[in-house]
Amino acid sequence: MGETTATGRAPGRPRSERADRAILEATLDLLARESGVAGVSVEAVAARAGVGKTTIYRRWSGKEALIVDALAAAKAPLPELSGRSAREDLTEIARALTAERGRRHLRCFWNVVGSAEKYPELYARYQKDIIEPRRAIVRDVLRRGVETGELRADLDVEVAMSMLVGSLTPRRPREAVPDGYAEAVVEALLRGIGRPME
């Protein structure tokens, strides 16, 4: 079997975007259920999406690749950052991350995180393909802030990144986000990591 992820496929019939969307939506619907990762199977996705199993296997190597691509498709890209200031860029990132907390999205997130011990390869791939690229963007903003003098010269970028992302990670599946929360998180963070006033 050739490459069968959403980023590449084996040669053959042209792919149907409608089928792709139906498959990814079906995967997310199943993943958001109480059974979570355990309830997702190629057979169940095929039945829900109204496609044959071979249609899925032509696109994805298996259940875990399918779940990761479905989760990636559900996330909106982070906004284009202006680069004018660390404060502005971090605020834009924080707003984007808090805006992602749709009910189904949170259920999928918690079901993957809660299944990390049982499905370590899936969780590792989720971290590598979806979470880490976003964290890299935050790291770049922080490093740029250090270089421009907006942030402390001795800043521990990893700690600061974890503080920001951790503050914006939902602790409960249905946790509401108060108005102004993203801005408050960035303001509190900058009080600690901003360059001290002389």
Considering the four listed CATH numbers 2.30.30.240, 1.10.3720.10, 1.10.260.40, 1.10.10.60, the one that applies to the domain covering 17-72 is 1.10.10.60
pLDDT at 1 over 50: no
Among 72-76, 117-121, 185-189, 194-198, the range scoring the smallest mean pLDDT is 194-198
- Contact criterion met (CB below 8 Å) for 11 and 2: yes
> Would you say domain 76-193 falls under CATH 1.10.357.10?
yes
User: 3-state class of 151 per DSSP?
Assistant: strand
CATH 1.10.357.10 in the chain, residue ranges: 76-193
d(CA 24, CA 20): 6
CATH 1.10.10.60 in the chain, residues? Answer: 17-72
> Which residues have C-beta within 8 Å of that of residue 194, sequence separation ≥ 6?
150, 151, 152
Report the percent of the chain where pLDDT is more than 90: 67
